Structure 1
Amino acid sequence: MSNNLSLSDIKTFVAIVSQGNLTKAAEQLGSSRAHVSRQLSQLEKDMGVQLLTRTTRTQKLTEAGEVFYQTCHNSLQAIEKAAANVLEMTNAMTGTININSLGGVFGEDYLAKALAEFSLQHPNIRTNLSFESRHVNLIDEQYDFVIRAGEPSDSRLVCRPLMTMEMGLFASPEYLEKYGTVVHPDELSQHRCLAGPIVKWQFQNSRGEQKDILIPTVMNCNNSRVLRQFALEGSGITRLPSFYLKRDLEEKTLAPAIKGWFITPIPVHLIYNKLHYQPERVKVLINFLCDWFSKKII
């Protein structure tokens, strides 16, 4: 084995394993797939051992590769933490915070306002905000925290509650006059339903009965503003947070579309990896957001 292993090649190997394939590793590293492949081959040559078994479709760590990956992954994290410690000592409240959050009304109207207030208080901190609903792997992806609806199950993650979204079914008065108000979730199969990414709607009634319905939809969109507009035009029934439609309900341009049943409220959490080092700026923002949302009546 060579005594001059390349740190760049080792970082590339860790990225290949973390990302799952050469192409994604190349994207993360800002390199080409061919260059990443050459780095892996050179590392295996220098070590005199195969680290990955590869086909055109799959890759799998060898026994030696598994041991090497775990050690290198932990070592690189330790180096990153040491460098961050030094940086924090000299300039604690500067730098970038990377956030991935659900968008829609929550992200565009509420989170944006909170982050703008934080930015005024800490002008030397830069926030990099992405709106997505996909699953984010906080173990490997470079986000300081994510904000998601629902209950995550990964024990490696810390979940800080931000708010609970009260949900409801809503439609225009014209639609309800034509098609009638829903009195049981099963009746939704006979209605024009407008849905976002979630098409399995969960209901409860005052007697504690629960009902999960797979909704047949006439329109799907991952933007709540579009769903609201369709409902306002009388195109169907949609499921949205009640706070988003407060003005519409007051002006009676939309109305509740179901009686006797309610949709299970959805918790919103700020989530981060408890194993990752957190700079002071990230801790300050997390506490700021938790405090900001706790004081809001939404």
Structure 2
Amino acid sequence: MNNISWRWVRAFLLVAEHGSFTAAAEASGQSKANLSQQVTELEKALGVQLLHRTTRSLRLTSIGEGYLERSQLAFRQLESAADWAMQSTRELKGVIRMNSVGGLIGEELVAPLVFRFQQAHPGVEVELDFSSPRVDLPGSPYDLVVRMGELADSTLVARSLHRVTTRYVASPEFLVRQGPVREPADLRELPLIYGSVDHWLLVRGSEQQLVHAKKGFRIISGRAMRQAALAGLGVTRLADAYVQADIARGDLVEVLPEWSEATQLSLICPPHRYQLQRVRELMDWLKEHFAGVYAQALGEGLPLGRIG
């Protein structure tokens, strides 16, 4: 490594991330010739070809793809080390890149807590993103992720936020019209209100039942799915935060309660980002306050009107 300049590696990252020497030059303010020379020097020092160059296109070699992934991780670790070293005062400051589940949980519960954290720490800027269904955290730019489900990567730092219970619900009018739902097989002939997945796996102890949606409504929004259920359009499956207050009021009826399931909601952080005080403080803040706002959501429900 002694004969490789970090400037060469940075030049390679710029070119690979922008897709061309021209775009990388415009983004960095360097000349195309200078960037090209630095990448060439890097390839000579490594003894491998990182880029396929033609007059019309540029693409990574298979070795280049692997080198890009590892170099991006290395630079993120260097940035973390610099951040850690500069934490010389008790004042929290800097950027936290955060990804969260969306819908009610992310937008109505997590986001307000993040805003309150930023108000308490004006030097911290949280970039909050709800875009991903699931991100590869070690290979992503995120410092912190709120994720549903079990954690597969044991190398990550994880803090439990809450156990979210999924409930199957329908309106009283729908059940009077269609008849009672006593077992999962009864769902197979009913209109279902489902999201991105058109089948439900119901679990009760060691027993499993798979139900495919033959008819109904595909809606990629928990709020809209709830509204459709309130309107009597079918049976839906939603987290308790969406529907618990409706069940308590009698606007929705839970069916198959013995088949409800609990899913872990967690805060997850790469180890090298957990070293940052601002990231740890935000995790502690969310851990301390999330249960309270979740309980409030269960008791009060959503501030949304009923259709029809």
Scaled by the length of structure 2, what TM-score is found?
0.76
Report the counterpart of residue 284 of structure 2 in structure 1: 287
1:84-163 to 2 correspondence within 5 Å?
84-90=83-89, 92-163=91-162
Q: Whole-Å Cα distance in 1 between the matches of residues 72 and 126 of structure 2?
A: 26
Q: Whole-Å Cα distance in 2 between the matches of residues 26 and 266 of structure 1?
A: 39
Q: Whole-Å Cα distance in 2 between the matches of residues 189 and 33 of structure 1?
A: 54
Amino acid of the residue matched to residue 108 of structure 1? Answer: E
- CA 1:133 to 1:200, structure 2 compared with 1: closer, same or farther past 3 Å? farther
Q: Is the 1:92–1:279 Cα contact (8 Å) retained in structure 2?
A: no
State the identity %.
27
1:26 counterpart = 2:14: no
- CA 1:221 to 1:246, structure 2 compared with 1: closer, same or farther past 3 Å? same
Pick the aligned partner of 2:40 from 37, 45, 56: 45
Q: Whole-Å Cα distance in 2 between the matches of residues 85 and 96 of structure 1?
A: 13
Scaled by the length of structure 1, what TM-score is found?
0.79
Report the counterpart of residue 220 of structure 1 in structure 2: 218
Report the counterpart of residue 237 of structure 1 in structure 2: 235
- CA 1:66 to 1:111, structure 2 compared with 1: closer, same or farther past 3 Å? closer
Q: Measure how far apart 1:228 and its partner are.
A: 0.8
User: CA RMSD for the aligned pairs?
Assistant: 3.4
- CA 1:14 to 1:140, structure 2 compared with 1: closer, same or farther past 3 Å? farther
Q: Whole-Å Cα distance in 2 between the matches of residues 124 and 67 of structure 1?
A: 35
- The CA deviation string for residues 60-113 of structure 1, in whole angstroms up to 9 with x for no partner, is 443x9867975x557534532342134311574012222110111111221123
Q: Whole-Å Cα distance in 1 between the matches of residues 151 and 176 of structure 2?
A: 40
Structure 1: gaps (5+ residues): 17-21
1:145-224 to 2 correspondence within 5 Å?
145-205=144-204, 208-216=206-214, 218-224=216-222
Report the counterpart of residue 10 of structure 1 in structure 2: 9
Q: Whole-Å Cα distance in 1 between the matches of residues 159 and 120 of structure 2?
A: 22
Q: Measure how far apart 1:196 and its partner are.
A: 1.7
Q: Give the stretch that moved more between structures: 44-53 or 269-278.
A: 44-53
- CA 1:291 to 1:15, structure 2 compared with 1: closer, same or farther past 3 Å? farther
- CA 1:234 to 1:65, structure 2 compared with 1: closer, same or farther past 3 Å? closer
Structure 2: gaps (5+ residues): 299-308
Q: Give the stretch that moved more between structures: 89-98 or 122-131.
A: 89-98
Aligned-partner SS, 2:153: coil
- CA 1:203 to 1:68, structure 2 compared with 1: closer, same or farther past 3 Å? closer
Q: Give the stretch that moved more between structures: 228-237 or 84-93.
A: 84-93
- The CA deviation string for residues 3-39 of structure 1, in whole angstroms up to 9 with x for no partner, is 89571x41253477xxxxx4xx228x9x837979x68
